[in-house]
Amino acid sequence: MAHNISHSRRLRNTPFTEGVEAKGVKAYTVYNRMLLATVFDSVEFDYHHLKQHVQVWDVSVERQIELNGPDASNLMQLLTPRDLSKMQDDQCFYVPITDNNGKMLNDPVAIKHSDTRWWVSIADSDLLFWIKGLAVGKGMDVEVFEPDVSPLAVQGPKSEDLLERIFGAEVRDIRFFRYKRMAFQDTSFLVARSGYSKQGGFEIYVENGDYGMPLWNALFAAGEDLNVRPGCPNLIERIEGGLLSYGNDMNTDNTPLECGLDKFCKPGEGNEHIGHATMARELAEGPARRIRAISIPGTALAPARAAWPLMAGETRVGQVTSAAWSPDFETNVAIGMVDASHWADGTTLTVETPEGPREAIVKEKFWA
Amino acid sequence: MAHNISHSRRLRNTPFTEGVEAKGVKAYTVYNRMLLATVFDSVEFDYHHLKQHVQVWDVSVERQIELNGPDASNLMQLLTPRDLSKMQDDQCFYVPITDNNGKMLNDPVAIKHSDTRWWVSIADSDLLFWIKGLAVGKGMDVEVFEPDVSPLAVQGPKSEDLLERIFGAEVRDIRFFRYKRMAFQDTSFLVARSGYSKQGGFEIYVENGDYGMPLWNALFAAGEDLNVRPGCPNLIERIEGGLLSYGNDMNTDNTPLECGLDKFCKPGEGNEHIGHATMARELAEGPARRIRAISIPGTALAPARAAWPLMAGETRVGQVTSAAWSPDFETNVAIGMVDASHWADGTTLTVETPEGPREAIVKEKFWA
């Protein structure tokens, strides 16, 4: 069923919206109360193009939260089970963020500027409110706010070629989940090798929205012969790659271990993580359910609008939370949460889709 | 420009979505990461109908936050400048919520169950994160969570007639911003005389989503001769009535006094409101700008997607944040924020709309 989106100031435009709409965006979602493109040509066309060429993505919805002050690093470590003690000043860390009960509040990327200054590049929840509430409640010496920073992603196999034309050959030296500050016009941006696809690429943290359209235009002008196109996180490609979506594949009902984020849950000595107590119990006992890749063979299914129950006979043993037809793997690729009793690789279950029951095969590994 | 919305689990369905879609909803917005209908027939048709008959609105997006425990009332008073000390157990209070700097985080309705149990019926921000962060940071003895409660509003001049058929004549005794618990099937709901229109009506706080569709269907079956229709907050009607929209008309940049909420900013003795210090200064000096009704005569303008600058000659003196053509008042009714220098009733300014500059007249009073 197709529905229009009603625009209003509350669904915020981004510094690149003018460019996104000039390029003919067809559909939007709303993410952090901001517009996020979902389709330019078709999800399948965009998918094939992403795997072959290079795309420019307006991911301003990855709003930044700045932690600034003497207690910034203490506060950051309070938020996450991941040990940040050895993190260097040019690193980006994927960090599960939990509440005091060890439940997921967000799964952002933390960017360390220095011991007294961090950015948190957030998934879809008002994490600012949690961080600020905690800091104010504890009387910590740190300012917490949303700076004027809007990430623009460049993704796909030709990303490095395109970015070299804008920022110079030095972009090739940026290591995975590291960043360098690169000059653009009379300013400079933090450029990280990261992004929400498995095709390689960069995220440019555009400080000051006025530079948004100049950068957007420069990328399209420089990339014409590389077949550069506008793009956006691609539903098919991100499921194939097992890239989780907060709000779709997990939410405040879930723990990091349920999300398979074990390697980020090995707190160091004297760990201050606010969810430490419950997480320690779960680490000892193991989680009750886990996110798994799920293959649903047969004809193409429409994307999931709600969780689809996973059944073993009459018993509900999990749910599918994201699904899309994969042209490359010729199956419906899906992400779900499966109980321990049925999460073994190769387990066959039934998924109740809006188009009827279908066979669902639990997989330990994602496709790409 | 029309764009589709891409559905996903992250844009949550409500217990009434099945009914909303069966009734032919044409467009959605996203509010608290949940679907909110915006148009059934047309915004103008829905507007005229709302003023004459009765509508059933799925306002599940008004998510509830429950504060439960010995410190619930202390925490609630920490959040808002409004004095809650004399509030009774069947009252609903509109409460500005601010951060420690006195900036607006939300403008919900607080519902008092008892001294140890409150609901906060929220506008569009993850207020749960702020309340919980503050409570955890301060080590308060209170649980903060989102219960399974989805409000259904019944609005319009025939609301009382319709609700009497469902809940009995006692609904007529519910006073404005008070509630009673009313039986339905084998359960009961809190029913309040409130709602986001000026046409009168009620909000039914549906506990347990399984009762959603039975109540929805009962209302439509009982109201056929009253010309009951599905509806939703109406852009034209809410601007005429001066009903503010958090995220549109104000956000974290603004204070309650800028929003004209002075009467809720007279803290009692020993007030613990976390934004008290900055608010006290602003109360003494007066706010620098205020929300005003703005009339934009001439032809109908398309609704605002972003703030439209309000200019006095070459100087920016404010902005329009919501606007719609009013068939009843034959002008574009609008809401804006205007600097003290130009907020006097009758001041003529220029508003820069996407359709060009237009005359804008500042008004002290809204239309309805």
pLDDT digits (tens, 9 = 90+) for B111-144: 999 999 999 999 999 999 999 999 999 999 999 9
- The residues in A 274-303 lying below 8 A from B, measured between CB atoms, are 274, 303
- Does residue B33 sit at the A interface (CB-CB below 8 Å)? yes
Do B28 and A100 make contact, defined as CB atoms within 8 angstroms? no
Do A138 and B137 make contact, defined as CB atoms within 8 angstroms? yes
Per residue in A269-326, pLDDT (tens digit) is 667 899 988 888 898 999 999 999 999 999 999 999 999 999 999 999 999 999 999 9
Residues B257/B282, Cβ–Cβ less than 8 Å: yes
- The pair of three-digit structure tokens given for residue B252, joined into one six-digit string: 């974290």
- Whose structure tokens read 């034209």? B236
Q: Where are the domains of chain A?
A: 17-62+148-238, 64-133, 288-368
Q: What is the pLDDT of residue A270?
A: 60
User: CATH number of the domain at A64-133, out of 3.30.470.10, 3.30.70.1400, 2.70.98.60, 3.90.1150.10?
Assistant: 3.30.70.1400
What is the arithmetic mean of pLDDT over B145-162?
98
Q: Which of A132, A245, A248 sits opposite B130 (nearest CB)?
A: A132
Do B129 and A127 make contact, defined as CB atoms within 8 angstroms? yes
- Whose structure tokens read 């509830």? B64
Residues of A in contact with B125 (CB under 8 A): 33, 126, 129
What is the arithmetic mean of pLDDT over B148-169?
98
- Chain A nearest-CA distance from B173, in A, is 36
Q: Is the pLDDT of residue B267 over 90?
A: no
Identify the architecture of domain B64-145 in CATH: 2-Layer Sandwich (3.30)
Residue B147's contacts (CB-CB under 8 Å, 6 or more residues apart) are B64, B66, B119, B207
- Does residue A304 sit at the B interface (CB-CB below 8 Å)? yes
Q: What is the pLDDT of residue A272?
A: 84
What is the arithmetic mean of pLDDT over A348-355?
98
β-strands B4-5, A27-31: how paired?
Answer: parallel
Q: What mean pLDDT value characterizes chain B?
A: 96
- The pair of three-digit structure tokens given for residue B218, joined into one six-digit string: 């009962």
Q: Is the pLDDT of residue B17 over 90?
A: yes
Q: What is the pLDDT of residue A329?
A: 98
Identify the architecture of domain A288-368 in CATH: Beta Barrel (2.40)
Q: Which of A27, A33, A133 sits opposite B137 (nearest CB)?
A: A133
Nearest to B205 by CA among B217, B218, B215, B197: B215
CATH class of B290-368: mainly beta
Q: Which of A4, A131, A136 sits opposite B4 (nearest CB)?
A: A4
Do A29 and B39 make contact, defined as CB atoms within 8 angstroms? no
What is the arithmetic mean of pLDDT over B169-188?
97
Residues A338/A318, Cβ–Cβ less than 8 Å: yes
Q: Report residue B150 CA to chain centroid gap.
A: 15
Backbone torsions φ then ψ of B326, nearest 5 degrees: -100, 115
Residue B24: CB atoms within 10 A of its CB come to: 10
Rounded to 10 degrees, the C-alpha dihedral A220/A223/A224/A227 comes to: -110
B113 DSSP assignment? E
Q: Which of A11, A100, A322 sits opposite B136 (nearest CB)?
A: A100
- Whose structure tokens read 């549109």? B248
- Does residue A341 sit at the B interface (CB-CB below 8 Å)? no
Per residue in A186-219, pLDDT (tens digit) is 999 999 999 999 999 999 999 999 999 999 999 9
Residue A330: CB atoms within 10 A of its CB come to: 10
Q: What is the pLDDT of residue A268?
A: 61
How far apart, in Å, do the first and last CA atoms of chain B sit? Answer: 30
Segment among A249-253, B124-128, B264-268, B359-363 with least mean pLDDT: B264-268
- The pair of three-digit structure tokens given for residue A194, joined into one six-digit string: 């990261």
- Residues B258, B246: Cα–Cα separation, whole Å: 13
Residues A337/A250, Cβ–Cβ less than 8 Å: yes
Residue with the larger pLDDT of the pair A257 and B1: A257
The DSSP string of A242-288 is T---BTTTB-TT--TTTTT-GGG----TT---TTHHHHHHHHHH--S
Residue type for position A315: T
- Does residue A132 sit at the B interface (CB-CB below 8 Å)? yes
- Residues A3, B3: Cα–Cα separation, whole Å: 8
Question: 3-state class of A320 per DSSP?
Answer: strand
pLDDT band for position A266 (50/70/90)?
confident
- Chain B nearest-CA distance from A168, in A, is 36
Residue A257: CB atoms within 10 A of its CB come to: 23
Q: Is the pLDDT of residue A126 over 70?
A: yes
Nearest to A259 by CA among A124, A77, A110, A104: A104
Q: What is the pLDDT of residue B204?
A: 98
Q: What is the pLDDT of residue A278?
A: 87
- Does residue A8 sit at the B interface (CB-CB below 8 Å)? yes
Residue A68's contacts (CB-CB under 8 Å, 6 or more residues apart) are A116, A117, A118, A142, A143, A144, A145
What is the arithmetic mean of pLDDT over A90-113?
97
- The residues in A 254-273 lying below 8 A from B, measured between CB atoms, are none
Q: Is the pLDDT of residue A65 over 80?
A: yes
pLDDT band for position B145 (50/70/90)?
very high
Q: Which of B4, B127, B129 sits opposite A2 (nearest CB)?
A: B4
Nearest to B228 by CA among B160, B151, B320, B295: B160
- Does residue B125 sit at the A interface (CB-CB below 8 Å)? yes
Q: What is the pLDDT of residue B266?
A: 78
The DSSP string of A151-196 is EEEEESTTHHHHHHHHH-GGGGGPPBTBEEEEEETTEEEEEEB--S
Residues of B in contact with A137 (CB under 8 A): 133-138
Q: Is the pLDDT of residue B269 over 80?
A: no
Percent of chain B that is helix, strand, coil (3-state, to 5) = 25, 35, 40
β-strands B27-31, A4-5: how paired?
Answer: parallel
Residue A356: CB atoms within 10 A of its CB come to: 8
- Does residue B322 sit at the A interface (CB-CB below 8 Å)? yes
Angle subtended at Cα B352 by Cα B346 and Cα B356, rounded to the nearest 5 degrees? 115
- Does residue B2 sit at the A interface (CB-CB below 8 Å)? yes
- Does residue A22 sit at the B interface (CB-CB below 8 Å)? no
β-strands B315-326, B97-98: how paired?
Answer: unpaired
| A123, closest residue in chain B (CA to CA) | B10
The DSSP string of B71-109 is THHHHHHHH-SS--TT--TTBEEE--EE-TTS-EEE--E
E strands of B156-254, at which residues? 179-184, 187-192, 201-207, 229-231
Q: Which of A129, A239, A245, A273 to mutate to test the interface with B (most CBs of B within 10 A)?
A: A129
Domains A17-62+148-238 and A64-133 share a fold: no
- The residues in A 93-112 lying below 8 A from B, measured between CB atoms, are 99-100, 105
DSSP H or E run through A113: strand A109-114
Do A27 and B4 make contact, defined as CB atoms within 8 angstroms? yes
DSSP H or E run through A356: strand A356-363
- The pair of three-digit structure tokens given for residue B121, joined into one six-digit string: 């019926």
A64 forms beta bridges with A121
pTM as predicted: 0.97
Q: What is the pLDDT of residue B47?
A: 98
Nearest to A11 by CA among A26, A32, A33: A33
Nearest to A129 by CA among B262, B250, B136: B136
- Does residue A64 sit at the B interface (CB-CB below 8 Å)? no
- Does residue A14 sit at the B interface (CB-CB below 8 Å)? no
- Which fold, B17-60+148-239? Gyrase A; domain 2 (3.30.1360)
- The residues in A 77-96 lying below 8 A from B, measured between CB atoms, are none
Do A124 and B21 make contact, defined as CB atoms within 8 angstroms? no
Do A129 and B133 make contact, defined as CB atoms within 8 angstroms? yes
pLDDT band for position A109 (50/70/90)?
very high
| B324, closest residue in chain A (CA to CA) | A8
- Residues B229, B233: Cα–Cα separation, whole Å: 13
**Helices then strands, each counted (H, E), chain B:** 8, 22
Nearest to B335 by CA among A141, A320, A10, A42: A10
Do A3 and B4 make contact, defined as CB atoms within 8 angstroms? yes
- Chain B nearest-CA distance from A352, in A, is 15
What is the arithmetic mean of pLDDT over A86-111?
96
- Chain B nearest-CA distance from A4, in A, is 4
Residue A343: CB atoms within 10 A of its CB come to: 19
DSSP H or E run through B165: helix B159-167
Do B4 and A26 make contact, defined as CB atoms within 8 angstroms? yes
A337 forms beta bridges with A291, A319
Do A21 and B1 make contact, defined as CB atoms within 8 angstroms? yes
Q: What is the pLDDT of residue B191?
A: 98
- The pair of three-digit structure tokens given for residue A289, joined into one six-digit string: 């359910």
- Does residue A253 sit at the B interface (CB-CB below 8 Å)? no
Q: Could you tell me the sign of the dihedral formed by the alpha carbons of A180, A184, A186, A190, in that order?
A: negative
Residues of B in contact with A337 (CB under 8 A): none
- Does residue A149 sit at the B interface (CB-CB below 8 Å)? no
- Residues A114, A105: Cα–Cα separation, whole Å: 24
- Residues B253, B265: Cα–Cα separation, whole Å: 17
| B307, closest residue in chain A (CA to CA) | A9
- The pair of three-digit structure tokens given for residue A247, joined into one six-digit string: 């709000």
Do A8 and B322 make contact, defined as CB atoms within 8 angstroms? yes
Question: 3-state class of B285 per DSSP?
Answer: helix
Domain A17-62+148-238 in CATH: superfamily?
Probable tRNA modification gtpase trme; domain 1 (3.30.1360.120)
Do A304 and B136 make contact, defined as CB atoms within 8 angstroms? no
β-strands B97-98, B104-106: how paired?
Answer: antiparallel
